[in-house]
Amino acid sequence: MADVIGETHGPVGEVVPPGREASRTSATAEARATLGAARAARALELDRELARLLGAEADVALLAVGSHGREELTPGGDLDLVLLHRGRPDISALADRVWYPIWDSGQRLDHSVRTPEEGRAVAREDMKAALGLISARHVAGDPALTRELREAVLTDWRADARRRLLELREMSRSRWSRYGELAFLLEPDLKESRGGLRDVHAIQAVAAAWVAPAPTARVREAYDLLLDIRHALHEHTGRGGDRLVLQEQDAVAGALGLLDAHALLRAVAEAARTVTYAADHMWRTVSRFCSPPGRPVRRPLADGVVEQDGEVVLALGAAPAKDPVLVLRAAAAAAQTGLPLAIATVEKLAKEAAPLPVPWPPEARDALVTLLGAGPAAIGVWEALDQAGLIVRLLPDWERVRNRPQRNPVHTFTVDRHLVETAARAAAHTRDVARPDLLLVGALLHDIGKGWPGDHSRTGAVMARDLGQRLGFDAADVRALEAIVRHHLLLPETATRRDLDDPVTIETVAEAIGDPVVLETLAALAVADGQATGPAAWGAWKARLVAELARRVAAVLAGAPPPVAPDPTPEQLALARHGGGAVRVTGSRITMVAPDRSGLLWQAAGVLALHRLAVRGARTVSWAAVAHGPDGDGRPHQGDTAVLEFIAVPEYGSGPDPAALEADLRRVLAGRLDVAARLERRARSYKPRKGVPVPPPRVTLLDDASSTATVMEVRAHDRPGLLWRIGHALGSCGVQVRGARVETLGAEAVDVFYIVDEDGHPLADLALRETIRRSVLDVVR
């Protein structure tokens, strides 16, 4: 990687020369300046037109609130005006003279007519009115009226600050729960999401109450960027609305001089996290202001670190310039006590802290592990260090993943936040592993390669080796860290996409890992990584598979032979004795047992699709010489039996009816149910959402994943009946499905099939293999 150090990488791995990056930055600055100038010119034009409409009238004033009050009205924004008067009897006619031309122009208008006393009374009870009037701007008419109302509203706002600010905080929390966190959404609402424009307005409102400072220059810069993005969005769509949907992102990025949607989301994440950090600090200030006064608290937490009034600060004698470990020691103390780092402390550390020597001394590495081991409490502390630029000074490679979006609905967070979230969740598993330090640091670094081109696991392993040396780990631990990052996906991918009863599966994983300590660390990391990715990436089914794979691999590493396929359970045998097909439903797990036959898997999948069940996982097992039930002469009928285990959830409504499923399964087996026709009718009514980018499907045939079958991996966009269509295509090619694993990650399906030819052997015919690949591609496109 040394040959590209100092260059900038684009979102898909391209190497961007520094000159081109500077040119792009210049284009962005020019585009943003144009948008800002357009808003200022529009505000001036609107003010002149509104003054003309009002005319020279006594005892009236026209105020702009909201976006126009702040001179920030974007093309799709609403005009929000208040007409003030001092008891004018003809005020209705005067209002019509102002409002009707605005309506006729097509501009959306929110308006009210008040006396100063009425405006003050409304602001006392209505939070939206209060926030608008706090920042109201005089446009035309008598400025004394405007001044009178604003001063009265501000006086009331400050006098009743304890009640009103708590009300504003609850409103903000409710808004966050509805709209989510701006920095981590694929289609964020630029105004309402946490970290968006509304949160800066809240900071301004609290500052107007003289409780906390006004937005800093850095927050204003982030706010202006979000405002420019909103402006570009409105210009592109030709309408209002603040949700930055996927299909508009490339166009908005282009209007701002950015490379593409990836660069746009990265800029949004940076701005939103700046706003969120400032707002969180402001709300802590509000909480202290609104709480009853108590005795001052000051207690030592670590060398040079103390708690003071609910925050972590430096002790009087602490010297950051002479103590390189102080940054991490203070952060660890804050996380372990669940307290925030004071902003002044973070700023002092950023300004004065000495750089850590390389390799780090043991106390620095221990402080990092202590910080990460605090679990969820570490996240806010890490964010504070990141906002001050301290993280990239401690770990220079962090800059590559910082605010890097993951344009995939499976992922909840940007890459850097995902790494911290994973480490925080890994803290819950430190009692389960021999080396908790390797688990926590491995979790922090497992996706570090996503900042570079190529396979992020391979690239990340190289970076983990370098970072491990930087952190001061010994040679053996560095090798372990490298293996942990290289193989962090091995257990979950193998568990969900390979047959665990195939000895080749277990032997391959055991050979790749080779070390029991690395294995148990990877097993814990798989849980933390899946949980930190998002709800679609982890569940009980996947957890059981990963745990079982880790158990079997651990046995092999301990010298035991690879396990053989398990015998049927008593419950499965009981189902098999029903004969002809039987179904049992336990929660989301659906077990089907039937005489083994060609196409059974996809026929069963078709039954589930008919019942509007979305398959989230599937596995097939076949065994021989199982009694299906007594024949007419009373003797047991012998033959191969298949057990199909599905994880399936209703597309909507209640769970499935086992009796109805069993009846339809028997009808399919008897050839009395046309699944194809029924599903085709459903497919015609399925309309994928326009504008959502869907990568092309991929079908891969692997020969080294099993000694008894060819493994086919299908990756495609999920849709109703997909598993049935794939199975039908395989059946039409004359191949048998010996086993299958199905996984759905968000909207993406990752299906794996163990397939054999008519003689039960792996596929050797190259022409047949290509026919299969093309047939499956045709049905998943």
pLDDT of residue 685: 63
Residue where the block lists tokens 């039960």: 760
Give the span between the Cα atoms of 400 and 419, in whole angstroms. 13
Task: Examine the pLDDT at 472 and tell me if it is beyond 70.
Answer: yes
Copy the structure tokens of residue 57: 């009238």
Strands 109-114 and 79-85: parallel
pLDDT tens digits, one per residue of 350-387: 999 999 999 999 999 999 999 999 999 999 999 999 99
Give the span between the Cα atoms of 25 and 674, in whole angstroms. 60
pLDDT tens digits, one per residue of 485-531: 999 999 999 998 888 888 899 999 999 999 999 999 999 999 999 99
What contacts 382, CB < 8 A, 6 or more positions away? 331, 371, 391, 420
Determine contact, residues 135/69, Cβ cutoff 8 Å.
Answer: yes
Give the span between the Cα atoms of 81 and 137, in whole angstroms. 10
Residue where the block lists tokens 């994880």: 647
pLDDT of residue 628: 42
| Band of pLDDT at residue 595, cut at 50, 70 and 90 | confident
Give the span between the Cα atoms of 527 and 634, in whole angstroms. 50
Task: Examine the pLDDT at 115 and tell me if it is beyond 80.
Answer: yes
Nearest one of 209, 68, 205, 86 to 144, comparing CA atoms: 86
What does the pLDDT average to over 133-156?
A: 95
pLDDT of residue 740: 77
Residue where the block lists tokens 């097993």: 523
The proportion of the chain whose per-residue pLDDT surpasses 90, expressed as a percent, equals 63
Task: Examine the pLDDT at 633 and tell me if it is beyond 70.
Answer: no
pLDDT of residue 24: 66
Give the span between the Cα atoms of 451 and 467, in whole angstroms. 14
Task: Examine the pLDDT at 255 and tell me if it is beyond 60.
Answer: yes
pLDDT of residue 479: 97
Nearest one of 469, 463, 373, 468 to 424, comparing CA atoms: 373
Nearest one of 235, 232, 224, 237 to 270, comparing CA atoms: 224
749 forms beta bridges with 716, 744
27 vs 395, more confident: 395
Lowest mean pLDDT among 225-229, 399-403, 417-421, 643-647: 643-647
pLDDT tens digits, one per residue of 156-180: 999 999 999 999 999 999 999 999 9
Nearest one of 587, 636, 576, 640 to 613, comparing CA atoms: 587
Give the span between the Cα atoms of 412 and 405, in whole angstroms. 10
Task: Examine the pLDDT at 632 and tell me if it is beyond 60.
Answer: no
Task: Examine the pLDDT at 10 and tell me if it is beyond 50.
Answer: no
113 forms beta bridges with 83
Domains parsed from the chain with CATH numbers: 52-159 (3.30.460.10), 162-290 (1.20.120.330), 302-351+364-384 (no CATH), 395-565 (1.10.3210), 599-621+649-780 (3.30.70.260)
Nearest one of 286, 334, 292 to 313, comparing CA atoms: 334
pLDDT of residue 315: 94
Give the span between the Cα atoms of 580 and 375, in whole angstroms. 52
pLDDT of residue 39: 93
Find out whether the peptide bond into 359 is cis, omega within 30 degrees of 0.
yes
Task: Examine the pLDDT at 395 and tell me if it is beyond 70.
Answer: yes
What contacts 571, CB < 8 A, 6 or more positions away? 584, 591
Residue where the block lists tokens 């990650």: 745
What contacts 671, CB < 8 A, 6 or more positions away? none
Handedness of CA 589, 593, 596, 597 (dihedral sign): negative
- Sheet containing strand 710-717, strands side by side: 582-586, 589-595, 641-650, 613-623, 736-745, 748-756, 710-717, 698-702
Copy the structure tokens of residue 314: 């430096």
| Model confidence pTM above 0.75 | yes
| Band of pLDDT at residue 624, cut at 50, 70 and 90 | low
Task: Examine the pLDDT at 575 and tell me if it is beyond 80.
Answer: no
Count of residues in the chain: 781
Give the span between the Cα atoms of 446 and 483, in whole angstroms. 10
Task: Examine the pLDDT at 755 and tell me if it is beyond 50.
Answer: yes
CA dihedral 756, 566, 505, 710 (to 10 degrees): 0
Give the span between the Cα atoms of 438 and 440, in whole angstroms. 6
pLDDT tens digits, one per residue of 714-751: 988 877 778 888 888 998 898 888 777 877 776 678 88
Residue 749 Cα to chain centre, angstroms: 18
Task: Examine the pLDDT at 17 and tell me if it is beyond 50.
Answer: no
pLDDT of residue 397: 94
Please state at what angle helix 217-237 crosses helix 261-290, rounded to 10 degrees.
Answer: 130
Task: Examine the pLDDT at 630 and tell me if it is beyond 90.
Answer: no
Give the span between the Cα atoms of 757 and 716, in whole angstroms. 24
478 vs 568, more confident: 478
Lowest mean pLDDT among 64-73, 284-293, 395-404, 616-625: 616-625
pLDDT of residue 20: 52
pLDDT of residue 216: 96
Copy the structure tokens of residue 341: 């780092």
pLDDT of residue 15: 39
Give the span between the Cα atoms of 690 and 575, in whole angstroms. 45
Task: Examine the pLDDT at 13 and tell me if it is beyond 60.
Answer: no
pLDDT tens digits, one per residue of 178-237: 999 999 998 999 999 999 999 999 999 999 999 999 999 999 999 999 999 999 999 999
Give Cα separations from 558 to 230, 435, 511, 548, 580 (angstroms): 59, 18, 12, 15, 43
| Band of pLDDT at residue 21, cut at 50, 70 and 90 | low
pLDDT tens digits, one per residue of 37-83: 999 999 999 999 999 999 888 899 999 999 999 999 999 888 999 99
Copy the structure tokens of residue 507: 């032997």
Lowest mean pLDDT among 228-232, 345-349, 755-759: 755-759
Give the span between the Cα atoms of 2 and 94, in whole angstroms. 72
Give the span between the Cα atoms of 768 and 765, in whole angstroms. 5
Q: What is the DSSP string of 732-761?
A: HTT-EEEEEEEEEETTEEEEEEEEE-TTS-
Task: Examine the pLDDT at 5 and tell me if it is beyond 70.
Answer: no
Cβ–Cβ contacts within 10 Å for residue 718, how many? 18
